[in-house]
Amino acid sequence: MPNWPLDPTPYPRDRRSIPIHLGLRDGLYVFVQNIDEIIYVLPDHPHAHPKVLGGGKPARYAGDLTVENGEIRDLTNLSGTFQFDDRVGLLGLQTH
């Protein structure tokens, strides 16, 4: 079930928001899984989650992740915007 952002401001989508893919550069990212189950990432910065999809759109899941040496090393459900807390959703992301 999707969650609507707690901040209803229809922020524009950040132009750096892209679908996750092999070859993603090392770094810290926020991610949002849209209702079509596509995971988008954006370099981490304050209040970034609502700008990953933009427009106040709902998300199936959200959090942050760390890429090191081309691999995801850390994956969390930390998002002040979407407030996901079910572990099942987080584990489901690992199959994508």
pLDDT tens-digit profile of 15-59? 999 999 999 999 999 999 999 999 999 999 999 999 999 999 999
Nearest to 63 by CA among 33, 94, 19, 24: 33
Name residue, tokens 């092999």. Answer: 22
Q: Is residue 79 part of a domain?
A: yes
pLDDT tens-digit profile of 85-95? 766 665 566 54
Domain hosting residue 24, numbered range: 18-93
Length in residues, the chain? 96
Q: Is residue 13 part of a domain?
A: no
Q: Is residue 8 part of a domain?
A: no
Give the Cα-Cα-Cα angle 91, 3, 48 (nearest 5 degrees): 85
Give the Cα-Cα-Cα angle 38, 94, 53 (nearest 5 degrees): 25
pLDDT tens-digit profile of 60-73? 999 999 999 999 99
Q: Is residue 61 part of a domain?
A: yes
User: Domain tally for the chain?
Assistant: 1
Q: Is residue 39 part of a domain?
A: yes
Q: What is the pTM of this model?
A: 0.87
Q: Is residue 36 part of a domain?
A: yes
